[in-house]
Structure 1
Amino acid sequence: MKLHAFVAMPFGKKNGPDGQPIFFNRVYAEYIKPGLEAAGLDVFRADEEQSAGDIRSDMFQELLIADLVLADLTIDNPNVWYELGVRHALRSRGVVLVQGPRDGTPFDIYTDRKLRYHLKDGAPDPDFLAADIAKLAEMAQATLASWHGRKISPVYRLVDNLQEPDWKQLKVGDAREFWERHAAWEAQVKRAQRNKRPGDVLVLSEETPVVALRADARFAAGEALLKMERFKLALEEFDACLAAEPGHLKASYKRGICLQRLERNDDARDHYRKLLEARPQDAEAWALLGRIDKDAWTDAWNRPGATPAQMADDAGYEDALLIAAINSYRTGFRADANHYYSGINAATLMCLFQHLTQRQDYAAELPALLGGVRWAAYSEHARSPNFWAAATLGDLDVLTGTPQQVTTAYKEAIRLVENDWFSLSSTRQGLDLLRLLGFRPEAVDAAIATFDRALARLPAPHKDWRPRQVVLFSGHIVDAPDRPVPRFPAAKVPAAAQRIAAELARLEAGPDDLAITQGAAGGDLLFAEAAQACGMKLQLLQPFDEPAFLQASVAPSGTEWQQRYDAVVARLDPAWPILSAPQALGPAPAGVDPYARCNLWLLNTALSGGIDRVRVIALWDGQPGDGPGGTEHMVNEVKRRTGRAVVIETDSL
């Protein structure tokens, strides 16, 4: 999606500094809009708003959220100066100043860089217009690409400690359209997450409805993918979020988590250390770094086949790694005494250190630490009862309390999330570490028994089926009898069917594999039939609701193809129903071709299981399609994303 520019300038015909008329609508149409569009921006001026509403609210909203505001200062128009002042007050960056011929500049912005353009007879001078447009495009791109910390607004530049307001929370009057579109988009992302469809999330992440909120949108997509354990894809979304908004703190945290889950621990550690250089008192970052240190220590002794005695001995021997983890967690809790997560981890590891080494290095500070963690967790639980605060109180009893106290505390925590299998299971898994090392066995056994009893009442979550390979197909619809230039004539259907079946045989496709296509008459249905014949799961993803799809892509080819489509649908596994883009993704954004969108949906769905599992077959004549979103588009996208596609050339059949 393009970045957004708002233009503040005079409208219509106004007298210039020399008293001669200037036709500002022509300046906008011939110079400003082409220049900003050449920079890749979507350009808007207040008089272009067609919907009913308060023009002032819309104007304030634009000044607040636009990526770039261009102000034309050729004449001293009070509205333009006012709008420029509002932008300078709200945002520290993203302003371009232009002006036509005039003598002098008002003192307040005398030192600000301004781009001059040429006029002739009150309109852009054709002799200079191309060069002026190029310079404007260059300046707009440079402004957008400039260092994120560079302040353009004189307000923020001169007042050193002034911070921008959280402008994403500032909703202007009745101008709710931006936020409503974003909320609707977020609802679609959450729906895709619930349905465990990462491919849907990947498409939606490219369709952010409000460009100014693209960082938050990418973060939402990344969170959804992270919860679906698609760590590589989630990492890409968090990176995109940080590219749009380098200071997005939550994305920085999640980025490190993804790196760790991808077993890129050195990269994750470097990432957190860099974050801590800028934010040395960030308790969450210290805790996440502590998690990496803790895992490094655990990996050093928790080896398959080792006896409990060997593991305990090795765990104590690796005390340097254990101390590193303690230090990270302890630093986090010192930075924020309310951050009980870092505190309980520091306390637990200190107790394990004493248990494993019989040393008293932490004897002096441990009582105070335990008390601080208890107070932090107790205070949060008193304000707002929640599982994690209550579970932390149970964790403390594991360290120092009786088995009965442990059971009582954890039962209270379980009461708060009795149906949340993942929260219960993750806490239960943490107790296994203590059991392996023989730490306070009576208390630990009581804790594990409490969680096991709660988990026994719940069904274990369904484990997602992951195909061995995903075979994506795109191909031509069978030619109509009167097609002027043959592409895939009906006479070649049997040969195409044989080639497609042979390709699936070469891939040894079978019940452990997934086939994805649209289901149009011609190549799609030939592929669907071949996939079902070898026992593959089949997923049909269509650009429109099924009746409209049939009308556009099956019925025109005749009754035989309609019958073949019906037969394929009748054999579909109920777990793999037909899905349409409007149903799964919502309406296509303005200007987005539904067929091209469906191609990206098909491809992202295939890629969401891992690029190494994807195989692509295309039935293509090698020529441009009849419109956007055809087989050529799919082949080009596949080559761009994976570099691998098997093309069955229709000319060779």
Structure 2
Amino acid sequence: MTLLAKPLCAVLMPSGSKRLPSGQAVDFDALYTSLIEPGIVAACMTPLRADAEAGGGIHAPLHERLLLCDYAVADLTCGSAAAFYQLGLRDGLRPATTVTLVGEASPLPLAPASPGAIPYAPAPPEMIRYALAADGRPADAAAGAEALTRALGALRRLRFRPLFQLIEGPVAPDIARLKTDLFREQARYAPDARQALAAARQGGREAVRAVAAGLGEVSVAEPGVVIDLLLSLRAVGDWQGMVDVVGQMGAPLARSTLVQEQYGLALNRLGRADEAGRVLEEVIATRGPSSETNGLLGRVYKDRWGAARQAGRPLEARGWLGKAIAAYLQGFEADWRDAFPGINAVTLMELASPPDPRRVELVPLVAYAVKRRIARGAPDYWDHASLVELAVLARDEAAARLAAADALASVREPWEPASTARNLGLIREARAARGEGLPWADAIEAALRARAQALAPVVQT
């Protein structure tokens, strides 16, 4: 489900035929098919009208489209309060991404274009006026479609990024990998569903599936509930369940950065590495590098390295190891505050044969990033886990034991300590091949594995 190639353009407009106070008829369906849809398609975007979305129908959540579509077209000809509310909500969430349309017979009190005219509400610069024929259809649909294409192209060239997108991109002012944590802390959605999913996560995979069955059709559910369901399935290691939920989502939500990242993660855990790589590579190509997306892509390459190595294909393994290091390094360089891709990069550099000399320069940078975040008073599991790996790489037993104690006390989901234990195991194997060994590091690895198994014995790591 690589949905990011063409931006989605939401269409906010009435349906059917309406008659204006002047008596002029407006055939909105004809307006859509002859002017709006061709104009959006010509701008290399995918139009999404409420009653045309597959699976969603007219019941698809309006807020989902308003929040998550890259661009929008809003027709204000009828001048309804609902239309202006929707437009205002859209502009507040994603300013400079909407084109408005209005028929010439509209009752809207827009300011006339002539100098010195009595000023009413000024028309926004992205407004397109179109003439209506007697039958309510656009009088010159082709010209209107061309104007719409030009307006959307102009907005696209602005490359505007909203100030705060909870599930669409990196969340300022903190780092990208914290999107999922911030979502649960700050998103406001159905409290009953939130509580049910929180309880189900403690009960395991079947408990989450049971709650999911009671939530109804995913494509029309509240987006906040759907995202929480996706993350709850991740927490219990139900990777196929995650893939299934993404397939049932409405298009705007499914193509959001957070969802596509989690989709790539789930595909990789299911052994569908080719698909996972394509999904995450497309997110990076479309949205740009980030510590989170690159971290997930690095994991895909890292797993492919491991598979090639176990299969006795050393040249192929070396290639995947290089791609994994590059992906993690790009993620760290995208946000120096996030040590997660950085620690993975230096760990894999340690595993190379011979070890990659760049790790000597990177280790102090990664350590500084971790320590600064901890000093801010808001460390999480990954901060402590990064210090564990750094201490093991530096052969610092005291620092490793201290960081491991903090990490074990900060575990939230079982896959976290399992992931760190896996990295320590790789370091142990690489050093053993060079005739090196650290028994105390082996003990920390064992403690992390035991913690993961105690939290969720059913989870496959």
TM-score by length of 2: 0.63
Please state whether the residue corresponding to 1:72 is helix, strand or coil: coil
Q: 1:421 to 1:167 in 2, by over 3 A?
A: closer
- CA separation in 2, counterparts of 1:186 and 1:192? 10
Q: 1:82 to 1:332 in 2, by over 3 A?
A: closer
Please state whether the residue corresponding to 1:112 is helix, strand or coil: strand
1:112 to 128, 140, 143: 128
Residue 300 (structure 1) shift = 1.9
Are the counterparts in 2 of residues 68 and 94 from structure 1 also a CA contact under 8 Å? yes
- CA separation in 2, counterparts of 1:328 and 1:186? 34
2:370 to 365, 377, 381: 377
Q: 1:278 to 1:6 in 2, by over 3 A?
A: closer
Please state whether the residue corresponding to 1:41 is helix, strand or coil: helix
Alignment partner of 1:71 is 2:76: yes
Question: Which letter maps to 1:198?
Answer: R
Residue 456 (structure 1) shift = 5.9
- CA separation in 2, counterparts of 1:422 and 1:350? 23
- CA separation in 2, counterparts of 1:241 and 1:345? 32
The structure whose RCO (Cα within 8 Å, separation 6+) is larger is 2
Alignment partner of 1:330 is 2:341: no
Deviation string 1:411-438 (CA, Å, 9 cap, x unpaired) is 2332444x86553343223322223331
- Could you say which residue in structure 1 is the equivalent of 2:119? none
- CA separation in 1, counterparts of 2:101 and 2:214? 32
- Could you say which residue in structure 2 is the equivalent of 1:223? 231
2:158 to 149, 157, 160: 160
Alignment partner of 1:243 is 2:243: no
Question: Which letter maps to 1:160?
Answer: L
Question: Which letter maps to 1:371?
Answer: P
Alignment partner of 1:429 is 2:446: no
Residue 373 (structure 1) shift = 0.7
Q: 1:274 to 1:411 in 2, by over 3 A?
A: same
Are the counterparts in 2 of residues 394 and 410 from structure 1 also a CA contact under 8 Å? yes
Alignment partner of 1:273 is 2:281: yes
Deviation string 1:315-373 (CA, Å, 9 cap, x unpaired) is 699433322222222222222222211111111111222xxx34x6x32x322200001
Tell me the number of residue pairs that the alignment of Structure 1 and Structure 2 aligns. Answer: 376
Residue 187 (structure 1) shift = 3.5
Alignment partner of 1:343 is 2:336: no
Residue 458 (structure 1) shift = 9.0
Alignment partner of 1:392 is 2:386: yes
Please state whether the residue corresponding to 2:337 is helix, strand or coil: coil
- CA separation in 2, counterparts of 1:191 and 1:117? 59
TM-score by length of 1: 0.47
- CA separation in 2, counterparts of 1:425 and 1:167? 30
Query: Which ranges of structure 1 fall in alignment gaps of 5 or more residues?
Result: 8-13, 44-60, 119-127, 140-145, 170-178, 304-310, 466-653
Question: Which letter maps to 1:429?
Answer: R
Residue 241 (structure 1) shift = 4.7
Please state whether the residue corresponding to 2:158 is helix, strand or coil: coil
Query: Which ranges of structure 2 fall in alignment gaps of 5 or more residues?
Result: 1-9, 33-48, 114-122, 168-186
Please state whether the residue corresponding to 1:337 is helix, strand or coil: coil
Q: 1:424 to 1:325 in 2, by over 3 A?
A: closer
1:204 to 189, 193, 215: 215
- CA separation in 1, counterparts of 2:316 and 2:106? 78
Q: 1:158 to 1:16 in 2, by over 3 A?
A: farther
- CA separation in 1, counterparts of 2:149 and 2:193? 31
The structure having more radius of gyration, on CA atoms, is: 1
- CA separation in 1, counterparts of 2:165 and 2:363? 40
- Could you say which residue in structure 2 is the equivalent of 1:410? 404
- CA separation in 2, counterparts of 1:459 and 1:42? 42
Please state whether the residue corresponding to 2:76 is helix, strand or coil: strand
Q: 1:324 to 1:276 in 2, by over 3 A?
A: same
Are the counterparts in 1 of residues 350 and 427 from structure 2 also a CA contact under 8 Å? no
Are the counterparts in 2 of residues 406 and 446 from structure 1 also a CA contact under 8 Å? no
- CA separation in 2, counterparts of 1:228 and 1:102? 55
- Could you say which residue in structure 1 is the equivalent of 2:117? none
Q: 1:352 to 1:85 in 2, by over 3 A?
A: closer
Are the counterparts in 2 of residues 242 and 252 from structure 1 also a CA contact under 8 Å? no
- CA separation in 1, counterparts of 2:64 and 2:392? 55
**Cα RMSD, aligned residues only:** 5.1
Deviation string 1:430-470 (CA, Å, 9 cap, x unpaired) is 322223331688764212313535766897346459xxxxx
Overall identity of the aligned pairs, in %: 20
- Could you say which residue in structure 2 is the equivalent of 1:285? 293
- Could you say which residue in structure 2 is the equivalent of 1:41? 58
Are the counterparts in 2 of residues 99 and 115 from structure 1 also a CA contact under 8 Å? yes
- CA separation in 2, counterparts of 1:248 and 1:207? 15
- CA separation in 1, counterparts of 2:409 and 2:73? 51
Residue 153 (structure 1) shift = 8.3
